[in-house]
Structure 1
Amino acid sequence: MKLPQAGTTALITGGTSGIGRATAKSLAELGIHVIIAGRSVERGEQAVKDIRDAGGKADFIAADLQDEASARTLARKAVEVGEGHIDILINNAAIGSIAMTHQTTESVFDQVMGVNLKAPYFLVAELAPLMAERGKGAIVNLSTMVAELGTSALGLYGASKAALNLLTKSWAAEYGPSGVRVNAISPGPTRTEGTVEMGGMLDQLAAQAPAGRPASPDEIAAAIVFLATDSASFVHGAILPVDGGRTAV
């Protein structure tokens, strides 16, 4: 793997646990200054402490992403903490929704779309132009294999991520000519704190893939780090499946 240049700064939303925390740890091990954003101050401070104790550079910003204002506020705070620049944006924060369409309320619909789609949209709107001015940058969006499959009770979640997939390609077209690479990871079932509520459904989904098991957060983080660093210098607008082969069969 090509190591990034000194002074690289990354913002990871939803970085206090699961895939986000594993990604922050991995990026910090490469010498990247990681800025972790999340709702839990306790988890955020612990994630930062763990990285610093290991010799890395990390900071935490408390953020409850849900709309344009919260996204732009986080972006501006991150630029300040990042000493004037963010070189890598990992749009990882998301909320799931497991419910049939007729059971879904408008408030849940708005919440899912707000966190999963609106917040990344305006984080990119705020940060991608700054990256373009510097002539470099990388954005990695966290999607899901459910965006490619018709899955009962996961339609809303999948739809929010399918829209993010399209935006990934649009942003690559918009900002790629200015040196900003935009790609997405499409994970399969992953065992994290956030998927505990799925219970046996997680294993059932995983059993349908050739790998036959859920992923660990570190396995997903490895793919994110690849797209976020110069190892993927010629990759633009890709939706990389990291789903144990589920969408291949």
Structure 2
Amino acid sequence: MGSLDLTGRVALVTGATSGIGAATAELLAQRGAHVLVAGRDSSRGDSVVAAIRARGGKADFVAADLREAQSVRQLARRAVELGGGRVDILVNNAGIYPFGPTEKATESEVDTVYALNVKAPFHLVAELAPAMAERGGGAIVNVSTMVAAYGALGMALYGSSKAAVELLTKAWAAEYGPRGVRVNAVRPGPVRTEGTAGMGDDLSVLAAQAPAGRPAEPQEIAEAIGYLVSDAASFVQGALLPVDGGRTAV
């Protein structure tokens, strides 16, 4: 049977200074991975790293602005350096999720959403997956959303960017899977994080539409990611795993 243990592996997690990313970084470190915590806010990043180290885990912060392709590629190279020449696990978690009418979206908003949600994962995979394939193994998990699976009022921009990520997940599974690199995605529903705090009661209303009837905690999404990057998921490739309390099932 496959193991959840990640001892000896190097994991790069983007958007890891808070929310799902921080919970994922902490979980992967608990399971033995050397985690590279990527984000823009160095103080929050250092806090996540300190918490991991306090529990006996191994982690380093890597600063990166994922809106610029050059910065994304520099992040990948810096991660390889910090990882001792390798990155075995990539979690593309960083992203933004503005909601609102299509006609109200500005050109800069559209560009930023696609830069962060689509282009950054694309460039990271381009930089890191070939070396994983050369070594004959690796795992990539892209964080999508349940609104990539169905049309939702006010979520055209965000949902469409994540729908692109879901197609990339399948295409990368076809491209790199034969050489041992497993590529999958998780599709979270509403999650209580610092980033969704501003939604207030709207988050609970959205969550109430699902059988679970409540928002998720970041750790619940992290557990799904932890499974997908582990040997326990050795035969899972190109999958889109809903972690949405059952919303897309009903």
Q: TM-score under structure 1 normalisation?
A: 0.98
Determine the structure 2 residue equivalent to 1:106. Answer: 107
2:32 — aligned with what?
Answer: 31
1:224 aligned partner: 225
Residues of 1 paired with 2:227 and 2:249: CA distance?
A: 21
Q: Distance in 1 between matches of 2:195 and 2:149?
A: 21
Q: How well do the aligned residues superpose, as a CA RMSD in angstroms? A: 0.9
For 1:199 and 1:3, how far apart are their aligned partners in 2? 35
Q: How far apart in 2 are the matches of 1:237 and 1:197?
A: 33
Matches within 5 A, 1:114-125: 114-125=115-126
Q: 2:240 matched to which residue of 1?
A: 239
C-alpha separation in 2, matches of 1:3 and 1:231? 6
Query: Aligned to 1:170, what secondary structure does the other structure show?
Result: helix
Identity of aligned residues (%): 63
Cα distance in 1 for partners of 2:10, 2:72 equals 18
The answer to whether 1:189 aligns with 2:190 is yes
Name stretches of at least 5 consecutive residues in structure 1 with no aligned partner: none
Partners in 1 of 2:167 and 2:7 — Cα distance? 32
1:87-98 correspondence runs (5 A):
87-98=88-99
Map 1:112-151 to 2 at 5 A: 112-151=113-152
Q: Residue 99 of structure 1: CA displacement?
A: 1.3
What is the letter of the counterpart of residue 53 of structure 1? A
The residue that corresponds to 1:180 in the other structure is 181
- Structure 2: gaps (5+ residues): none
- 2:42: which partner in 1? 41
In terms of mean alpha carbon deviation, does 4-13 or 118-127 score higher?
A: 4-13
Alpha-carbon distance in 2 for matches of 1:161, 1:3 = 27
Instruction: Please list the CA deviations of residues 131-165 of structure 1 after superposition, one character each: whole Å capped at 9, or x if unmatched.
Output: 00110000000000010121111110000000000
Whole-angstrom CA distance in 2 between matches of 1:155 and 1:108: 12
* CA 1:94–1:191: 2 relative to 1, 3 Å: same
* 4+ residue segments displaced more than 6 Å: none
Could you tell me how far apart the structure 2 residues matched to 1:238 and 1:5 are? Answer: 21
Q: Deviations over 1:73-98 (max 9, x none)?
A: 10000000000000000000001111
Q: Specify the SS of the correspondent of 2:36.
A: strand
Distance 1:192 1:4 in 2: 26
Question: 1:30-53: CA deviations, max 9, x gaps?
Answer: 111000000110000010000001
2:210, 2:227 → 1: CA distance? 23
What's the TM-score, normalizing by structure 2?
Answer: 0.98
Give the conservation status (yes or no) of the 8 Å contact 2:6–2:28.
no
Q: Displacement, 1:7?
A: 1.9
Residues 1:14 and 2:10 are matched in the alignment: no
Equivalence for 1:65: 66
Contact 1:210/1:245 (8 A) holds in 2: yes
**Contact 1:12–1:37 at 8 Å: present in 2 too?**
yes
Q: Is the 8 A contact 1:70 1:119 kept in 2?
A: no
Which secondary structure state, in structure 2, belongs to the residue aligned with residue 129 of structure 1?
helix
Distance 1:206 1:238 in 2: 23
User: Using the alignment, how far apart are the partners of 1:128 and 1:79 within structure 2?
Assistant: 12
Residues 182-215 of structure 1: per-residue CA shift (max 9 Å, x gap): 0000000000001112222211110000000000
